[in-house]
Amino acid sequence: MANAPIVQEWTTELLDTIFVPRTVARQLALAVALDAGMVTLNSITAVVQSMLSNFSSRSRLIRHLQEKQTGAASQDEWIELALKIDNVQGNDVWRSDPMCPLYERERISARVDEFVHLMRRRDLFELMFVLRGGIARNKFGLLHEGLFSKALAGTKVLVETYHNVVCAALDFVCDAPTPEGEPFPIPTEARLAFFNETRHAYGRSSLLLSGGAACK
């Protein structure tokens, strides 16, 4: 019987360790308390910011434009309001400034100049070669989320210029006639094969939805 308290204490410690560790329970309680405190702090911060915005003409203007944006009847109207909001917030300056550590500015500029140069020379063969090996979705950091989370009307002007020039180069390959005197004319079949290969390499976006969560 003298060993009974020792056995009972050992059993209690074993059960605590297996089922409900006291340390884990304390950590869980602390995490819940911190989470609740953070939610409360965020709520208070949102309320304070909302109250302060009523005293700022700039914030009132932004809120007014955002409300109009919600009821925009077309994409053009939405973009026009987005441009106004960016102008008020100063994000138009950010868009115009090519300097940014999120993407490779110099390489993008060089590629834009190369495409434009080849189109001016009407060098279809070299243009097709450069396009075929140079188009990729996230090349030069073009898809970095930071480039698309600041301004409403778009991203960096340099990024938009790059995409516009690439589209113009693809149109040029499709529509431009072969220059007279070209020793190796590019037939239509070769251009079609180029577009098929480029489309395959670049890929096409798709939206996949799972209905499993809705099944009961």
Please say if the pLDDT value at position 37 is more than 80.
Answer: no
Token code pair at residue 51: 């109250």
Per residue in 18-28, pLDDT tens? Answer: 555 556 556 56
Helices (H), the chain: 4-18, 22-53, 57-70, 75-89, 91-96, 105-121, 124-134, 157-175, 188-202
Among 53-62, 107-116, 136-145, the least confident range = 53-62
Check: CB of residue 105 under 8 Å from CB of residue 158.
Answer: yes
* More confident: 135 or 165: 165
Instruction: Quote the CA–CA distance of 111 and 165 in Å, as a whole number.
Output: 9
- Kindly indicate the confidence band of residue 45, based on its pLDDT and cuts at 50, 70 and 90: confident
Please say if the pLDDT value at position 126 is more than 70.
Answer: yes
- Percentages helix, strand, coil for the chain (3-state, rounded to 5) are 70, 0, 30
Per residue in 155-175, pLDDT tens? Answer: 999 999 999 999 999 999 998
Work out the mean pLDDT of the chain and round it to a whole number. 80
Question: pTM score, two decimals?
Answer: 0.66
* More confident: 181 or 148: 148
